[in-house]
Amino acid sequence: CGWQPRGYLMPPLDIDSVRIVSSEQHTELLRELEQSLLSQDIKVVEKGAEYTIALGDEQLNRRTVGIGNDSLAAAYELTLALDYQLRDEHNAVIGKPERVQVRRSYDASDTTGLDREQDMLLEDMRRELVQQIIRRSYFVLQDQQATQAPQ
């Protein structure tokens, strides 16, 4: 029924290096982004990369979504969002500025070790954000190369 392994449906894209620019430095999200790219044989370099991913600040928002028997917070919801842009080597924006967002909720009726649980959840959410950024960038770059190819 038409299923193809990813990479065969759309023309492959050979990118070997990417530059990462961010308003924040040395954060866990940037480390996760770099590790994910490295695991797909895409090196993160300072200069000379064909494409640049420009990231804004990580926006984290926590909201109470359930209260317990004592009328105090017993369930939280985390929303992690990030604005980013893809740019070519002349720093011109490719496609439009993008926004990725992930939302998770978790039980907080017993708060022992809750900060550790929130950190674990944040780790998962950052990994999901990074996967979305990489996947969407592939699509945008394929679309861009497809439109440029004929000239």
Chain residues binding other proteins by CB under 8 A are 1-10, 12, 23-26, 31, 35-36, 38-40, 61, 63-75, 77, 95, 98, 101, 103-117, 120-121, 124, 132, 135-140, 143
Closer CB to other proteins, residue 69 or residue 151? 69
- Residue 50 or 143: the one with the smaller Cβ distance to other proteins is 143
CA angle 53, 56, 58 (to 5 degrees): 120
CB of 32 to other proteins, least distance (A): 11
Q: Is the dihedral of CA 110, 77, 135, 87 positive or negative?
A: negative
Nearest distance from C-beta of residue 20 to other proteins, angstroms: 13
- Cβ proximity of 133 and 33 under 8 Å: yes
Q: Structure tokens of 46?
A: 């300072």
**Could you say which DSSP state residue 92 is in?**
P
- To the nearest whole angstrom, how small is the minimum distance from the Cβ of residue 49 to other proteins? 19
Strands 17-22 and 51-67, how do they pair?
Answer: parallel
